[in-house]
Homo-oligomer: A and B are copies of this chain.
Amino acid sequence: MSSSPASSTDVASTNALGYPKLQPQHPVPTDIQVSQQIVQQVGLLPLSDLAQQLGLTPDEIIPWGIAKAKIPLSVRDTRRAVPNGNYVVVTGINPTPLGEGKSTTTIGLAQALGAVRGRPTVACIRQPSQGPTFGIKGGAAGGGYAQVVPMEEFNLHLTGDIHAVTAANNLLAAAIDTRIFHEDAQSDQALFRRLCPPNKPFSPVMQRRLRKLGIDPHKAPADLTPAEQSKFARLDIDPDTITWQRVLDTCDRHLRVVQVGIGPNEKVTPRSDDPGQPAKPRVQHDRVTGFDITVASEVMAVLALARSLPDLRDKLGAMVVAYSRAGEPVTADDLGCGGALAVLMKDAILPTLMQTVERTPVLVHAGPFANIATGNSSVVADEMALKMVGPDGYCVTEAGFGADIGMEKFFNIKCRASGLKPKCAVIVATVRALKMHGGGPPVSAGKPLQPEYVQENVELVRRGAANLARHVENAKKFGVNVVVAVNQFQTDTPAEIEAVRQAALEAGAYDAVLANHWAEGGQGAADLAIAVEKACADNDEANFRFLYDVNLSIEEKVNVIAKEIYRADGVDFSNTARAQMEKYEASGFGNLPICIAKTQYSFSCDPSAKGAPTGFRVPVREIRSCVGAGFLYPICGDIMTIPGLPTRPGFYDVDIDENGGVVGLF
């Protein structure tokens, strides 16, 4: 990778990487128009050249569809000796309907560091869920002149990772219901005979269960005692404890709660342990359950936190889906599924390489929900990026939602899993969004903005900046330098921007700079890039620290986050939550980090409490577990895990034009 910084007086037609300089149009066209113009008029960098830019040999990339490639994990593993690059996380204030541009800033900053400043840089972002693409949400490729291209390739299917998660999740779901179905109908002996035909040795996944049960895994099936056979074969799942849901990457509200197994063939003749007894009448094998959107699956959370294929295999197998009637956790491996899930996910563990409009590299990988999961892209993509850019380079990674959620989980969960140490956090804010935090009127989609948002109102900005200030203070608790990026809108005035800057610096930000990458590409974020470079150079990764010790009790850990990050007065655990904490601690899951599921719109659990609320408590209704992924997630408020479609979904605009091109996708 070239590392010659561009001179500020450079008027050449090429940028710091030697590519044609971006020629932004004004007004900025729609996202899909920008993307298609770049592809058609400037052209994409061939994948082999993109690989070369990263110092990869041709056999270190696997081309995977149109302008996409997967990168094998060997790229990271063969560079173990290379010192890591500078690790920068991009986060934001609490989101508002006005949009803050966190993804856009992640991409814009990477373009600035790479194409303008000539620093080896990789942006790491999440793969977006495809479901909302056709519903109400925009794309997630960034926007304007700070985006990943081709955006339709980014937003649709990508390289199939989310589809692999769907397949794995639903295989496990089918395995659960089917296992209960077969167990209900068969004696221990019949079950064991079918599971372990006498001519077959125990398969690897069965050996895992044998080890868990304390039975010698090298025995032949016939050598087990009848008691051991029963123990092995009967999982005795309590249907009321099943937490595993099915998933689809579709916005389908009618699947939120469903009753399955109501067909005429899903009846079971209950087993009779006394062969002399008359056969019992058949009973319907139905159950009320639900679907989540795929990115809410624990399989996705595992993908984001796994460090290697064997680690992925272990984590998938360790996922707890239910408890036995005796209270023992039942895992995917107990169901015989862990290996198959890993095989389904073997390609998904490889990050996908794409490029920005300025031909700088982007790794897209994993996209777990930001409330019930970590909301951060994968550990392996960041690890790979840090090795590829080397000590003079930058890995710019994005954390979902606001800094109270995404950044906190980035530090306390993702960095704990990876062992990586970030040096700098970029917190994105906009004048408009801060006005809303300062008490500006509500905003409705499709209606013109109220005057507060389009006319100067420094006081509103100042009041709202309390939200930003608290996030800055929070980030500093982790030992990173904080740079605030004020993502510019046309209506922002110099006085308003200065008010944001002042508030940020007063709160302890290392720097606060204006950025206009949406309209100008990397050039618009050049100052931001310089500030980030300085913030990294001025910090030692040894300063990085976690907010809590995982060996604290679950209750204590939740309290630390609630008080230190949200600034709550305290936490109220329901009786359910208290019982669950006891159960988890008894099952050996007490030392997992905490991944709080709460609204992203406020520091508190009340989405309407803007700014920097105080004097509130955090109610924990229940605590769920992702034992495979490795965290517990307290539920604070209503969390929706599969969206619906509005009366006029986005799909109405999406079509194929006469030239076979995609139209109407954002």
Contact = CB atoms under 8 A, between A and B. Distances in A.
Contacts of A285: 254
Contacts of A287: 254
Nearest to A316: B656
Interface stretch (A61-69, A396-404, A621-629): A61-69
Interface residues of A, number: 93
Interface in A271-322: 285-288, 290, 309-310, 313
A197 interface: yes
A338 B171 CA distance: 29
A175 interface: yes
Nearest to A285: B254
A248 B170 contact: yes
A336 B651 contact: yes
Given A174-B254, A250-B167, A65 B66 contact: no
A197 B654 contact: no
Interface stretch (A256-264, A415-423, A566-574, A597-605): A256-264
Contact of A258 (B152, B191, B260): B260
A352 to B, nearest CB: 11
Given A654-B343, A655-B342, A660-B309, A647 B203 contact: no
Contacts of A496: none
Given A167-B249, A174-B252, A347 B66 contact: yes
A336 B166 CA distance: 25
Interface string A185-224: 0100001001111000001111000000000000000000
Nearest to A312: B656
Contacts of A658: 310
Contact of A266 (B186, B257, B262, B343): B257
A134 interface: yes
A251 B347 contact: no
Interface string A341-369: 01110110000000000000000000000
A186 B343 contact: no
A665 to B, nearest CB: 7
B167 A648 contact: no
Interface in A23-49: none
Contacts of A266: 253-254, 256-257
A664 interface: yes
Contacts of A346: 656, 660, 662
Given A157-B347, A259-B258, A343-B655, A174 B265 contact: no
Interface in A160-194: 160, 163-164, 166-167, 170-171, 173-175, 177-178, 181-182, 186, 191, 194
Nearest to A248: B170
B166 A644 contact: no
A380 interface: no
A649 interface: yes
A138 B65 CA distance: 28
A255 interface: yes
A256 B250 contact: no
A134 B263 CA distance: 22
A75 interface: no
Nearest 3 A-B pairs (CB), nearest first?
A: A339-B655, A257-B263, A163-B163
15 contacts: A63-B63, A65-B70, A65-B159, A156-B343, A163-B163, A163-B166, A174-B250, A205-B655, A246-B248, A254-B261, A256-B263, A256-B265, A309-B656, A313-B656, A343-B654
